[in-house]
Amino acid sequence: MMTMTKKNKVNEIIAYLDEIFPDVGCELNYQKDYELVIAVMLSAQTTDISVNHVTAKLFKEYPTLEALANAKLEDVEDIIHSIGLYKNKAKNVIGIAQAVLTDFHGQIPMDKDELQKLPGVGNKTAGVIRAEIFKIPDLPVDTHILRIAKRFQLVNQNADPYETEMALKKMVDESHWIKLHHQLIHFGRYLCTARKPACASCKLAHLCNVI
């Protein structure tokens, strides 16, 4: 029996995700570009639901970049204390606002290297920002996508997020990157979960190493 190539496997995965998640996008709430940057930074190691809960209060209390840049650290900590790593993230909230104002004239930079100069913004966060705000094709890998890629044996089991991102980009046409990023997150968040994946109802179970 011929072994299915990773490329064919990815094509089957994409077809299924198009079937079950035909129209998905970012689940973080934001109205301004800098609000997305802060929300994505806050989402590390916590849920989008939790982030949306705290940002609703944060952005109401501090409705401008200037207000955030001048916020007291303990006040921001108090607002976001319900999410993980809140003390460091509170510093980053204020730091991002200050950096955008002083270093980027109040505008979120488009360049990936420039984005990563913002406090708390790494490769994954920068990729999300570029794709969401500027519609620049990118396929940043979070914990959900990393788990799925390994379950479908698209990457080695010891691959890190960056290695997984590079591997997936070679397998998938650039035109699918942004949509696939959201689809894989939804798949991992609601079906192919870490502890109790819905394998019995999944049409991709035959490709997976979970069962």
Residues acting as catalytic residues: 124, 142
The label of the residue with tokens 């995700």 reads 17
Question: Given its phi and psi angles, is residue 83 left (phi above 0), alpha (psi -120 to 50 degrees) or beta?
Answer: beta
